[in-house]
Chains A and B, each alone.
Chain A
Amino acid sequence: MTSEIIHMGGIRKIYDTGKVKVEALKGIDLVVAPGEFVAIVGPSGSGKSTLMNLIGCLDTPSDGHYRLAGEDVSKFDRDELADVRNRRVGFVFQGFNLLPQISAFENVEMPLLFGGVPVRERQERVAEVLGRVGLSDRMEHKPTELSGGQMQRVAIARALAMRPDVLLADEPTGNLDSSAGGDIMQLFTQLWEQGRTVVVITHDMSLARRTSRIVEIHDGRIVSDTTVAPRLPGICAFGAPASDSAKGPRSLA
Chain B
Amino acid sequence: MLTSPTATVAAPPKPLLTIEPRSGWVPLNLAEIWQFRDLLMGLAGRDVRLRYRQTALGVSWVVLQPLIAAGLFTFIFGMLAGMPGKKGLPVFVLIYCGMLGYNVFANTLSKAGICLVGNAQLVSKVYFPRMVLPLSTALSTLLDFAVASVILIALMIVYHVHIGWGLLLMPALLAVILILALGVGLWASALTVSYRDVQYVLPVLLQFAMYASPAAYTLSWVNDTLRPKHPHLVAAYMLNPLASLLEAFRWSWLGTGDLHWGWLAYSFAFSVVAFVLGCVAFRRMERRFADVI
- To the question of whether A and B form a pair in one complex, the answer is no
Task: Name B residues whose Cβ lies closer than 8 Å to a Cβ of A.
Answer: none
Interface residues in chain A, defined as those with a beta carbon under 8 Å from any beta carbon in chain B: none
